[in-house]
Structure 1
């Protein structure tokens, strides 16, 4: 239970770092073995995070190494298991529809109340039809519960459920196993693993058998929907050479310095997008998410502008964060780099803003890079994860792009302080009060009102 408490996970991590890691001598070897039950657990940090870089042989074992290729046959098999399709006498789901049974609700409740792995144990589901189960469906009549009992009967007998699915599998075995590979064939062959996955549910299966504790049902963004430009291009240079002058560049930064000192600093995120002017597809070129000091963040943003002209680059300017923009301009002037930083003030709930990314991720309007592991992890864990700095910056970059028509240029001006100041040309500015995909925002002129560094007086 400690795995699911953020406070307990933090205490365990501090105990390990302060006590366990310093035990033994220089010749002492430590071996950590276990199952990953949470994305922020200590074991997950060992294998996924950079804080234990001196640990060697970080291995994650998964029961299923490669899935079978014929997904269509496995989809049919799953329908047969749950009486949604006939096969050799299977009683089809629609024969029970007159009783108005909610199959999507019934089967999860049955799974909660029994641990079913083999056909011989399906009979134990009859024990689940107690008062506790019936209380989950207060509107059901005795006639409907009798229909559920009949359904379980077909699970046991030759003409239905797993028995019929077994027949289907045996008739298509070679095709259904094509391309599959498992870790321990003698313990769990591929077919037995697929039974466990279907009966227990994908979350329990992925956590216990695949060392993947993420529950995709709780996560807003499904990683299976992510599309990647690295599938076609090996490097960013290859992508840019292919499109040449057809791209506009946009950037955003979430400073997120927050509280903490030293190693406990919050993450800050810098995102760079390239938008194809005709197709409208966004290519994610940079997702720099890490812990750094304010000075390091300022320099990193300046470096992003070296050799690249942005059509828009925004930085969150809520509260003290607006002070960063002035520091960036000073550093850019010292380095001889032109910047195009605009402050952006977020007035809408962050979680709501990030959720709007789904309108672009699901249909493939955003193409990711597989090298950006931390961003992909934060998107997958959202909204359950501990950090969302990357998705927050991605939303701001996308919002900036949606404000900016294709081919927009930024005009370079000089402020009273002598630092480069870049403003978007007035003829290219959309109405800042227009709300993009339900999100509230305000983009201000980059000349801050009541500039705290204004010493002209």
Structure 2
């Protein structure tokens, strides 16, 4: 019968005594296939799953993976804390079982480098070669097949599990006639990979142009990872049409006594104290009742609040947010701290009625390809209380002058200001032509427009936004363009694009000239 640890695990999962009967040592092959993922994991991989009762997210994993092989074409992305056993569930136990049962003829496991991907496969291979529980039930499948190496396993039942590092070619791979039937993205980017906009784009291009087309309409895709950056693959996959994205946080509810936890962190990081961790823990034990008040964590048996707060003190608040809270990280060296953009009132839905001044700016670009700069159209309003409200359209199209005038016709700004450094004098003639055409069509637009040739370096201009952000006096409209503007502000000065912040700064500087 199952051990007491197994019994505790099943009790925590709400299973009954008759469920435990399925786990007798003489378990038959057909009985094994009927087990839920949690039951199967506890029976065959107790060394991975028998130490702690499951977290709430593991119950979700159990439900989501149960009979997933029957629901073809599923696409799911999970952002979960470090140490949450997400890889153990989804990159070890699940593909191992799928191959043994013959549910998935070809499983592809993807990690940030070939070494890491092969290491994931090595854990699966070790179970196939040494796990007597598996061998007693899956007698044929556990035996090595024709291919049995560090990057590819072909089981005797014909199932294949293959490992790939990020950037490696997967499109075109087959197991006989079968394309990959299960593709698992497991932390396909490292911290180093997400610091560069070019590397982030390279990983995304690989994921969307090589990996996703490698499957077919029946392929199941699973992605697991941490929110290292808003443009990380795991985050962006969950935002795609047809995908389901879910984020799990380590701290579900923060403790009420932030003052005591601040003191705890000071103890934990006191370089003058050779026993700083012991000092911090002693402080916690003395104040445990007060410090625990209000706290709720995702896996209390494995990571109580004190352990998570020690980790937060160790890695820093920003890293903790991305690695444990699922909040995409701010790039190293970003101009402004994340809290400027995480205010609950940073985004707004409707323009306020008390705007006393409106202006529009245009940062043009003649490119229309994916790699071109955006044409940035910024709408900026000043409220009677001094708060700036902004929206933005970021486009790549040929008719940018026409678009600017269409926006102005609806926005009705006091002025449209266009940066013309790279337009070769084309803006004014083009604008005049469009306005004449509108008038002839019976759609006149009353518009004052001004050209500006900027001489100050772009970073200097954009830093004109600093005081407004610091004081919480800049709000952005909750539109696709507004959200992209906010992302570019977060990433400045190391983002792939800064057209939105540049156009916003142009509007702010011109507004300052006109209203003062």
If the length of structure 2 is used for normalisation, what is the TM-score?
0.55
User: Does the 8 Å contact 1:225/1:362 carry over to 2?
Assistant: yes
Partner of 1:37: 228
Partner of 1:13: 204
CA distance in 2 between partners of 1:227 and 1:45 (Å)? 19
Change (3 A) 1:179 1:55: farther
Change (3 A) 1:404 1:29: same
Which runs of structure 1 show a deviation greater than 4 angstroms over 4 or more consecutive aligned residues?
A: 1-8, 226-231
Partner of 1:356: 464
- Give the secondary-structure state (helix, strand or coil) at the position aligned to 2:225: coil
Partner of 1:300: 403
Deviation digits for residues 68-97 of structure 1, max 9, x if unmatched?
3433232222223344xxxxxxxxxxxxxx
Q: Does 1:27 align with 2:218?
A: yes
Partner of 1:218: 333
Change (3 A) 1:366 1:35: closer
User: Does the 8 Å contact 1:257/1:294 carry over to 2?
Assistant: yes
Over the aligned positions, Cα root-mean-square deviation in angstroms equals 3.0
- Give the secondary-structure state (helix, strand or coil) at the position aligned to 2:244: coil
69-78 or 169-178, larger mean C-alpha shift: 169-178
Q: Does 1:367 align with 2:475?
A: yes
Specify every segment of 5 or more residues in structure 2 that has no aligned partner in the other structure, as ranges: 1-191
CA distance in 1 between partners of 2:269 and 2:405 (Å)? 58
Higher relative contact order (CA 8 A, sep 6+): 1
User: Does the 8 Å contact 1:267/1:292 carry over to 2?
Assistant: yes
Aligned partner of 1:327 among 430, 434, 448: 430
User: Does the 8 Å contact 2:195/2:332 carry over to 1?
Assistant: no
Aligned partner of 1:74 among 231, 249, 261: 261
Report how many residues are paired: 318
Deviation digits for residues 221-255 of structure 1, max 9, x if unmatched?
12313486957x97425x21xx2xx5110121222
Compute the displacement of 1:37 (Å).
3.3
Change (3 A) 1:10 1:312: same
Deviation digits for residues 192-213 of structure 1, max 9, x if unmatched?
1110010222344334323445
Partner of 1:165: 280
User: Does the 8 Å contact 1:34/1:43 carry over to 2?
Assistant: yes
Deviation digits for residues 282-329 of structure 1, max 9, x if unmatched?
222x1223x32021x334322322344322321110122642443344
CA distance in 2 between partners of 1:341 and 1:82 (Å)? 56
Partner of 1:337: 445
Partner of 2:152: none
Q: How does 1:437-448 map to 2 (within 5 A)?
A: none
Q: How does 1:205-244 map to 2 (within 5 A)?
A: 205-212=320-327, 214-215=329-330, 218-226=333-341, 230=345, 235-237=349-351, 239-240=352-353, 243=354
Specify every segment of 5 or more residues in structure 1 that has no aligned partner in the other structure, as ranges: 84-106, 108-147, 156-160, 407-457
Change (3 A) 1:47 1:316: farther
Partner of 1:271: 378
Change (3 A) 1:220 1:166: same
Partner of 1:400: 510
Deviation digits for residues 100-142 of structure 1, max 9, x if unmatched?
xxxxxxx5xxxxxxxxxxxxxxxxxxxxxxxxxxxxxxxxxxx
Deviation digits for residues 383-416 of structure 1, max 9, x if unmatched?
121111111111001001011026xxxxxxxxxx
